[in-house]
Each structure stands twice: as structure tokens, then as C-alpha cells.
Structure 1
């Protein structure tokens, strides 16, 4: 009489049980409805958007989340809808097994505010336009007049470098692009103009200005200067 291999039978029963439990949990998970939307901003530096604004964008593309099954949610569509918003740099949307819809939002960072005759808006480091926000006002240089897309790249490099430096970001408050293409900057602390010149040798010129300022601030004569010329990369020329 052939002996029954109980070890093999137990192994088969365990496999069938695992398959059954997996199918059962998958079935329950597929019919589970979204019961909560959790929105997190990756940085609190620039709060142009609020949680409610992001939630409204989701509702426009999702509808009533409490009535939607998890497997019916198109995560790519939601991400694309958020990423097309002019204030959002990047958005990630994912769901969890407990029915949570998680949204991670990285907002764009403006480096310049442009004020023209008919409009006012921000530009980020890529040259993307951002409308002004009622929730937050960024401390960036104010550029009077238009900045054409054709000539935008070189000038954006200048304002990106200003934004990256804590001292320059606080000190430089305004800019004007002359017909010649030269840039004239204004500062927060004194009345002098900064003749930057063309947006070339940017880091060297900005380094020269920082060195000049930290040295000149110790001298009362700084209040008498009318212009600080940075066009000559080997020296800073001051005019009274």
C-alpha cells in the first residue's frame, strides 16, 4: 500500500491558501474607494498654491473621490493635470492600499518679476511665465519693461545667480535692460545704480560686487556713490 505524502499535501494546501488570499485581497482592494486625499508640498518656501487650490484641481479631474474605486483612478491623468498648472514644477500622485490618494507637489521658484505697461508676472529659471499670486509675493528683482523670449536665456542666467546667493537675493531689488543690452541693477540699501553691463562673465562680476560692498560698507563714503560700474571684470569703478 502506497504511503500518503502528507508533506506534499500540506505544501499544496498552503499554495492554494496563498492564491485564495491573494485573489481575495486583490478583489477587495480593487473595489476599495478613495476615502482621503493627502496633499503635501515639498517645500514651504514659496506658497503660491494652497491645499484647497490643489484639491480643487484634483476634483475637476477626479470628481467625487469618495465614490470612485481605486482601480478606476487614472494617476497619470491627475499628474498631467497638475503639471500643466503654471505654478507647479512637478507633481507626483499615488494611491495606497488603505484608500489614500497621496499628492506631492513641488512649486516653481520665480527669479524675476516683470512689470510691463499692460501686465505683471514672474519668470522662473527656465523662462516659464508665472502669474502673480494672492497668497504669496516673492522677493525677487523687479524688471521694468518686457524681456523678449529670443534674448531671455542670457538674462535669466544673471537673475538665477542672484537668486542662488543669499546676500544678492536680499540686496538686489530691481533691474533695467537698456536699448544697448546693458543691465542696470538697483540695490536695497543705497541709492547708487549698479552698471552691470552685458550679461556675460556673470559670476565674476557678481563676486566683484560682493567684495566691493563688504569692503565699502565699512566706509561712510559709500553713501556718496552714484554708480558702481562692474563692466570691467578686473576692477570695480565707483562714481560720485
Structure 2
């Protein structure tokens, strides 16, 4: 019984040795085959509907159009160097280069996705992408994203960079929140930063400005605003208020557009309609 077990183990071990040996031979054959294969073509794949960079620009980066790649032996092409060249482009987020056995050099490129265009206080213009990184504008393509302007102090040095000011980080959080919500993505047309460095939203419907303040508790603030839209504006009209202040977490304050004669007789200053809301926003006290 012990001898049978020993022979069984020996046979299993011998089978593994044969398999590993075959694998080594196969890898050696592939490497020798690759050493004799030359690059016959360069194929570039850029998925998505952004057009910051096209295949011609990728070819220029790789220098494929000057035949420095086509005709070379695959073993002489530095794949890592090509990937590094591609990743140095500010519009490319990810790049992968590999070769096929038939000599085709495959290039896969993923572009950065902007979610906000910023026009700062110093006339600098740049995008913020989905990861919160600043990227330059493109001469090839203009992304249809929210625009933020006004008193924005975030600087841009024309290369991919992280956000440095808290205001810029709040703008990114606000734009990211809006784009993920179908209601607000359709309703909000622009973001403005006022002289107090507070964030205001400019809606597509209505003439009022929505004072958000900062990006804290955005889900609560905009839930309160939605309740205000449903319960108040249908009764008073969309142009009743000049400003809707939602910067306080559980309160909505509507600043009237203009005063009636009755209001003027009662008070000379602009009257504020303070609408205190409960946390569940199901009831609004006027």
C-alpha cells in the first residue's frame, strides 16, 4: 500500500515536471518568434464620446507616422517608454500598449472626463475632472459641462494638478453632486461665486439665484430646496424671489424680488420670508 502511494506521488511529480518543461519550451518558442516579428501596424483605440485627443495625436506621440515603430522588431520596441509618453499628455488618464503575434502594436487610451469648467478671478480657464484634478482646455474639443465663474482664486499652471483651495474643492463637490442627480443636472445651468466667496447656483427655470454657501450637507440643502420648489413656488410663482438661501442646513430663506405697495407701507427695508423647515422637509412653516 505504501509502495503504491509512493509511485502515485512520483507519477504526479513527474507529470508536473513535464508540464513545467513544456511551458518553458513554449515560452522560449514565443520569445524566439517575437524576436523575429516586426511591427506591421499600429492600432489605436480611444473609447468614449470625448474628443480631447484623437488617433492622429496619439500617432504623433508614438511617432508612428514617421515609421519609427512600423518595421522595427517587436523586441526592440520599449513598451513602457511608449506608455509613459502617452500618460504625460494631460488629457490621457490611462494608457496601455501591447503587441500581437502578427506584429500589430495595440494602443488603448482612456481620456480624462471633465465635470466642471472654471473661469477664475484672474481670467484663467481650466477644467476639473471626475477625480478632482485640474486639466487644461483643449483646442480640439469643448466639453459640455457646468461652468463656474466669479470670485474664484484657484490658480492654474497649465498642467494636471490637484485642487489647492477649499473653495475649489467645494466647487468640485458641488458639480459632482449635481451631475449625479438627474433632477439638478437638468435644472442647474451655472455656478457662480460671489464676493463673499460663497457658492450660488443659477437655475434654468426661474430668475432667482440659489445661495448654497459651501459644499457641506449638499444632500440636505438640495432636498430642502426641492421641498421649497414643490410646496411654495407653485403658489407664489417662480419669479417671486430674487434669492433662495439654502446655506443653513434646515432653513430656506426667500428674498423677494420686489415689494408691493402694502409691503412698502409697512416697512422700508426689504422683507425676508423666512421658511423654517423640519429635517424631513415634509412641512414648511411660512
Q: TM-score range by the shorter chain?
A: 0.7 to 0.9
Aligned residue among 188, 197, 201 for 2:213: 197
Deviation by residue 1:156-176 (Cα, 9 ceiling, x = unmatched): 222221222233233322222
SS of residue paired to 1:223? coil
Written as runs of structure 1 = structure 2, the 5 A alignment for 1:16-35 is: 26-35=31-40
Residue 82 of structure 1 deviates from its aligned partner by 1.4
RMSD (CA atoms): 3.1
Q: Which runs of 5+ in 1 are unaligned?
A: 1-15
SS of residue paired to 2:96? strand
Q: Is the 8 A contact 2:59 2:65 kept in 1?
A: no
Aligned residue among 150, 160, 168 for 2:165: 150
Over 3 Å counting, the alpha-carbon distance change for 1:175 and 1:36 in structure 2 is: same
Normalized against structure 1, the TM-score is what? Answer: 0.78
SS of residue paired to 2:53? coil
SS of residue paired to 1:26? helix
Q: In the alignment, what sits opposite 1:227?
A: 243
SS of residue paired to 2:179? helix
Q: Which runs of 5+ in 2 are unaligned?
A: 1-20, 155-163, 257-286
SS of residue paired to 2:118? strand
Residue 80 of structure 1 deviates from its aligned partner by 1.6
Q: Is the 8 A contact 2:64 2:70 kept in 1?
A: no
State the structure with more CA Rg: 2
Q: Is the 8 A contact 1:86 1:129 kept in 2?
A: no
Deviation by residue 1:107-159 (Cα, 9 ceiling, x = unmatched): 11112211134332211244422222233322222222434223233332222
Over 3 Å counting, the alpha-carbon distance change for 1:125 and 1:147 in structure 2 is: farther
Aligned residue among 42, 45, 49 for 1:40: 45
Over 3 Å counting, the alpha-carbon distance change for 1:228 and 1:21 in structure 2 is: closer
Normalized against structure 2, the TM-score is what? Answer: 0.67
SS of residue paired to 1:98? coil
SS of residue paired to 2:165? helix
